[in-house]
């Protein structure tokens, strides 16, 4: 749709039906230098923020943002600048100031997963939806999402 409609800005979420927001952002920014992406999500995780930045998002806001802040962020991103939720900005600054890498240590994260979490991760990587994973592993969709 981005190729057809050429919007100035697209709002994505980390979790969306059919395609996750990070994949959508990657595709949008790869195929359109004109269209900006603002991620609007409930997932206040550094890994999500870092990946959103890596795939080309121009902003990252949380869904509990005030309506005026969301409108302002849309205007900022549409004008070509970037914007982040205050808590995200604070963490990015702290990580940078302390020399911390702005990416997750993948080995540490993988080592911290349980066997079941790894099993779900592999199925996510193959492109299955939460519902499909739940059916395959006989788990509730909410459990898969968690």
- What fold characterizes domain 2-97? Rossmann fold (3.40.50)
Q: pTM for this one?
A: 0.65
List the chain pLDDT tens, one digit each, 146 residues: 888 898 999 999 988 888 888 899 999 998 878 899 999 988 877 778 888 888 899 999 999 899 999 999 999 999 999 998 888 888 878 777 777 655 556 667 777 888 998 899 889 888 888 899 999 999 998 888 88
Report in angstroms the alpha-carbon separations of 92 from 43, 84, 89, 144.
15, 10, 5, 29
Domain boundaries, the chain: 2-97, 106-145
- What fold characterizes domain 106-145? Arc Repressor Mutant, subunit A (1.10.10)
């Amino acid at each position: 749709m981005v190729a057809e409609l050429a919007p100035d800005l697209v709002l994505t979420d980390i979790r969306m039906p059919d395609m996750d927001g990070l994949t959508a952002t990657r595709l949008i920014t790869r195929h359109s230098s004109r269209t900006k992406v603002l991620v609007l999500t409930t997932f206040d995780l550094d890994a999500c923020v870092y990946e959103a930045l890596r795939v080309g998002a121009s902003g990252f806001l949380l869904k509990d943002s005030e309506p005026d802040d969301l409108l302002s962020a849309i205007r900022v991103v549409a004008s070509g600048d970037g914007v982040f939720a205050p808590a995200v900005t604070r963490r990015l600054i702290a990580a940078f100031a302390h020399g911390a890498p702005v990416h997750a240590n993948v080995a540490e994260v993988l080592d911290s997963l349980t066997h079941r979490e790894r099993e779900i991760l592999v199925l996510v990587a193959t492109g299955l939806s939460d519902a499909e994973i739940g059916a395959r592993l006989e788990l509730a969709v909410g459990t898969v999402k968690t």
